[in-house]
Structure formats: C-alpha cells, structure tokens
C-alpha cells in the first residue's frame, strides 16, 4: 500500500516531526522550517496534505497568501494559537485556504484523525497519474494519445520532414515541440512560424531574410526565420496558408538546403529539420490547385495525426484538472476544483474547439465561479440529458403509481379489490405499494 505523505511546515517547532511520527506511525512525514524550503520540497515531491504549524499569525499575511495560492492543490490543515483568529487577515487566510484547523495546545490524536480524513478526501479527487513519457506536454492516457506518443517517439529519431494534421486547437504545436525535444536536434533552436499570421507582402523577407539596400528601409542585413533555425527545427504552422508564389521558393529550399536572401546573389546553406502542420486537408488543397503537389510530397514524408478532443473522452477530466492547476494563480482563494456535475457536463460536451476551447472554458470558470466548486453554469455548459433508459424507467414508475392510486380510489382504499382490478395478487400489490412508498 502506498504510504500517506505529509509536508509539515514548522518554523518554530523543530520537534514537531518527531511528535507527529509517534502519533502517526503509518505516515511518511517531511518537516521543513520555512516557506522557501516548502517550495523546494513541493517542486521535488508530490503531497496531497500539508500541515502549517504556527505559520499563520507568525509570518506576513501577504507572504502566506502568495504561498498558499501557488500551492492550492495541496489540502492544508493549520495549527495556531486561539488568539490568532482575532486578526481579520488571519481569519481570511483560514477561511480561504485551510480544510481544517486546530488551536494550541494540540491534541495529537485528534490532529491525526483530521489529517487522515483530509488525506482520504484528497485521494478521492486526485487526478489520475499519467504514464511516464519524455513527451510530457502530451497529456492523456487514452488509446489515441498513446498512439500519438508512439508516433512522436518514432519520427523524432529520424531527420525526414514531418507533416502534422489536426483540427484547430487540437495540439499540433505541442506535438511539434515534443518531436523536437526527443530528436537529436533538441539542443538547437525550435523556430515556430505561423504562415497565416504574416502579411503576404512581408512573408518572403521574414522567411528568407534580406540584404541591406534590398528595398527602401532595408538599412541593414536581416537573418530570416529559416536561417535562424540553423542546427535545429523549423516549425511551419498552417502551411496550407503559404502563398502560392512562395511555395516554389520553399520547395527549392527543401530540395537544396540553401536559401537566398532578398537582394542577395549567393546561396546560404541551412541545416534544419522541417516540421509543418495544417488544419486543412492538403491533399484536397492539391486537388483544388491551391497547393503544389510536389511541395506536399516533400513535406509529408512522415505524416502524424493529432486526435480531436471528442476522441479523447477518457482524458477530459485529467486535462481539465491539469489546466485548473496550471492557472491556479487566476482563481479565487476558496475555489477547490470541479463539482461532479461539472465533470459530467465536460464529459458530455462535443468540444468543437478542442483543447483550446477546454482551456478557455476552464480559465473563465475559475474567475466566474462563486462557490468552492466549479459548476456547469460557470463553464457555460448544459447538464447532459438523462439516458433514454432512465427516462423510460421514470415514465414506467409514474404510470404504475397513477394506476395503483386510481384503483385504490375506486375500491375505497381496499387493497384486495384494487389488486383484483389490476389483475395481480394481493402480495404483489403490497410489494408495489412498498416500492412506490404508498399507503392505501
């Protein structure tokens, strides 16, 4: 069985850990003497429960507030003197951040019971662990994400161009980053370029650079984005938006591994690995004549598909919890997480905007939620309708109740006569009355 772990912050109680170990022998207890030491420990180890021993009331309120806000995923229990609660700022810290508290002198047995209860509750809401992977930004353990991680690991080992396809907001750039991190070029730069975000009249000079005097205002030489990726990876996002007249220049770069700056006559060799991405089907763009066929085949040597969020239902709760903790600094102090109703609404939503939509809804809910838990309304999501089986069961029960009540009324509340009218035995009639909590 995995041992229960406790982080104890006890600036003025060096013997606190020894006392706690005596009262809680089945716990692994780590004691630190300051908030900075606690930050360091929390970066290295995961704790579900933390204990503040005489921290509130002895440290500046803003310092404690900042620390507890940063580590709101930990369930905190406090121990302090009773007079500490006389200060409004201390009361606010206790109300906003602590699951429970004890006043000195502390009863160790009662404290052990409290910590055990808090730990059990924290485990119920604990996010599912992710499988270890060097592509740590690719969160999720469903079959689709395991396949994607496998593709990333394979294509990262070679130098051939990669074409990533996926719907808008599904995580194409994160996939490109994971490929770069696992490649032999991981120590080199990763230069992302959004081909649809650069003005058409600037994209040539931005990609290939220019020489001084190439045009009015070119007062000095400029290194282009392709050249700046030398020794690393060039990520071309939304490659389908690359203007048709530039596609020929880019094809020449892929074939010859050289570029010519605007206004220059000599070619510059560039050593880069190209990863491109698109949310449109480039094969269809080729068929329409919007994208060069020869460029498509140069880019899509190693195709990778990023699954949409609707195909990752098993990962929704894990992703929502991840973004909640990632943006914890934005939330109200008392907000603890998602209610079960909110998680049901998240699971039922279609997510046309994919992961980007999920991040947007979670961040908005963290600001708009009033209580301790995010509800469906905070996410601007509707509660899912009950399954048809549940609707039919409700209708069947309602019909049974109405039929039984009508027969009892006609028979003057005589159970035997009502049973005969319904064509059932007296025993069955009593069973139905008990089932529907009815009395004749």
Domain end: 267, 287, 305, which one?
305
CA distance 144 to 85: 51
Q: Judge whether 414 lies within some domain.
A: yes
Are 221 and 150 in a shared domain? yes
Helix (H) or strand (E) holding 364: helix 354-368
Residue 136 forms part of a structural domain: no
Tell me, yes or no, whether 288 and 173 share the same domain. Answer: yes
Q: Are residues 147 and 283 in the same domain?
A: yes
Say whether both 246 and 152 belong to one domain: yes
Cα–Cα distance for residue pair 7/28, rounded to 1 Å:
9
Spatial distance between the Cα atoms of 129 and 139, rounded to a whole number of angstroms: 10
Predicted local distance difference test score (pLDDT) of residue 402? 72
- Specify whether 113 is located in the same domain as 209: no
pLDDT at 188: 92
Residue with tokens 């050289």, as numbered in its chain: 258
pLDDT at 425 (0 to 100): 85
DSSP for 117-161, written as a single string: HHHHHHHHTPPPPPPP-S-TTS---SHHHHHHHHHHHHHHTS-S-
Position of tokens 């460029």? 295
Q: What angle do CA 370, 375, 381 make, to 5 degrees?
A: 125
Distances (CA, A) of 340 to 125, 344, 354, 374: 10, 6, 21, 9
31 in Cβ contact with 16 (< 8 Å) = yes
Number of domains in the chain: 4
Q: Are residues 346 and 395 in the same domain?
A: no
* CATH of residue 223: 3.40.50.300
Q: What is the pLDDT of residue 408?
A: 79
Q: Is residue 130 part of a domain?
A: no
CATH number at residue 53: 3.40.50.2300
The CATH number covering residue 421 comes to 1.10.10
- At 391 the pLDDT is 54
Question: Is 84 inside a domain boundary?
Answer: yes
* Domain end residue (candidates: 271, 305, 339): 305
Q: Judge whether 407 and 429 are in contact, CB under 8 Å.
A: no
Q: Are residues 147 and 218 in the same domain?
A: yes
Do 73 and 199 reside in the same domain of the chain? no
Determine how many CB atoms are found less than 10 A away from the CB of residue 6: 23
Structure tokens at 379: 């996410």
Going by C-alpha positions, the residue among 43, 69, 64 that lies closest to residue 54 is 64
Q: Tell me the backbone φ, ψ of residue 223, rounded to 5 degrees.
A: -80, 130
Assess whether 166 and 112 both reside in one domain. Answer: no
pLDDT of residue 134: 42
Per-residue pLDDT of the chain (440 residues; tens, 9 = 90+): 567 899 999 887 777 778 888 888 889 999 998 999 999 999 888 899 999 998 998 888 888 988 888 888 889 999 999 898 888 888 888 888 888 999 988 899 999 999 999 998 888 766 554 444 444 578 888 889 999 999 999 999 999 999 999 999 999 999 999 999 999 999 999 999 998 888 877 888 888 888 888 787 787 888 889 999 999 999 999 999 888 888 888 898 899 999 888 888 888 999 999 999 999 889 999 999 999 999 999 999 999 999 999 999 889 988 998 999 888 878 877 788 888 889 889 989 999 999 999 999 999 999 988 888 899 999 999 876 655 565 566 667 777 777 787 787 778 788 888 888 777 888 888 888 888 777 77
Domain that holds residue 366: 311-374
User: Is 430 a member of any domain?
Assistant: yes
pLDDT computed for residue 390 by the predictor: 57
User: How far apart (Å, rounded) are the C-alpha atoms in residues 346 and 90?
Assistant: 36
> Is the domain of 151 the same as that of 299?
yes
Examine the domain organization and report whether 149 and 227 are in the same domain.
yes
Q: Which residues contact 381 (CB under 8 A, 6 or more apart)?
A: 342, 345, 346, 348, 349, 361
Decide which of 265, 282, 305 is a domain's last residue: 305
Domain assignment present for residue 422? The answer is yes
Q: What is the CATH number of the domain that holds 346?
A: 1.10.8.60
Q: Does residue 290 share a domain with residue 147?
A: yes
Q: Can you tell me the distance from the alpha carbon of 327 to that of 363, in angstroms, rounded to the nearest whole number?
A: 7
Q: Which of 6, 13, 112, 23 is nearest to 54 (CA)?
A: 13
Chain position carrying tokens 């808008």: 168
103 found inside a domain:
yes
pLDDT of residue 126: 62
Q: Which tokens is 225 given?
A: 């984005």
On whether the CB atoms of residues 127 and 322 are closer than 8 A, the answer is: yes
What pLDDT does 131 receive? 46
Residue 381 lies in a domain: no
């Amino acid at each position: 069985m995995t041992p229960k772990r406790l982080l104890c912050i006890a600036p003025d109680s060096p013997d606190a850990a020894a006392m706690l170990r005596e009262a809680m022998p089945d716990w692994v207890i780590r004691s630190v003497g300051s908030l900075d030491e606690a930050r360091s420990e929390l970066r290295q180890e995961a704790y579900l429960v933390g204990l503040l021993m005489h921290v509130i009331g002895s440290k500046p309120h803003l310092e404690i507030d900042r620390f507890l806000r940063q580590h709101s995923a930990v369930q905190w229990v406090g121990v302090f003197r009773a007079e500490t609660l006389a200060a409004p700022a201390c009361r606010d810290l206790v109300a906003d951040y602590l699951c429970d508290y004890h006043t000195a002198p502390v009863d160790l047995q009662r404290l052990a019971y409290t910590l055990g209860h808090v730990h059990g509750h924290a485990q119920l809401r604990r996010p599912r662990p992710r499988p270890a992977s060097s592509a740590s930004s690719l969160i999720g353990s469903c079959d689709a994400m395991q396949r994607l991680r496998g593709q990333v690991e394979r294509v990262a080992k070679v130098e051939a161009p990669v074409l990533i396809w996926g719907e808008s907001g599904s995580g194409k750039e994160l996939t490109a980053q994971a490929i770069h991190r696992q490649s032999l070029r991981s120590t080199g730069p990763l230069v992302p370029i959004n081909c649809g975000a650069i003005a058409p009249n600037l994209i040539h000079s931005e990609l290939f650079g220019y020489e001084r005097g190439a045009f009015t205002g070119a007062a000095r030489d400029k290194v282009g984005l392709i050249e700046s990726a030398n020794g690393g990876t060039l990520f071309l996002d939304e490659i389908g938006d690359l203007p048709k007249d530039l596609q020929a220049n880019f094809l020449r770069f892929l074939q010859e591994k050289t570029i010519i700056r605007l206004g220059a006559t000599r070619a510059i060799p560039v050593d880069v690995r190209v990863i491109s991405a698109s949310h449109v089907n480039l094969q269809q763009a080729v068929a329409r004549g919007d994208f060069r066929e020869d460029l498509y085949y140069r880019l899509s040597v190693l195709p990778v598909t990023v699954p949409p969020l609707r195909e990752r239902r098993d990962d929704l709760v894990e992703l929502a919890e991840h973004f909640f903790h990632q943006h914890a600094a934005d939330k109200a102090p008392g907000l603890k997480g998602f209610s079960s109703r909110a998680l049901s609404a998240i699971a039922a939503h279609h997510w046309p905007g994919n992961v980007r939509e999920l991040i947007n809804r979670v961040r908005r809910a963290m600001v708009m939620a009033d209580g301790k838990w995010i509800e469906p309304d905070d996410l601007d999501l509707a509660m899912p309708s009950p399954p048809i089986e549940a609707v039919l069961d409700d209708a069947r029960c309602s019909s049974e109740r109405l039929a039984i009540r009508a027969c009892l009324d006609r028979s003057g509340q005589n159970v035997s006569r009502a049973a005969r009218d319904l064509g059932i035995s007296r025993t069955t009639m009593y069973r139905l009355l008990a089932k529907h909590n009815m009395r004749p």
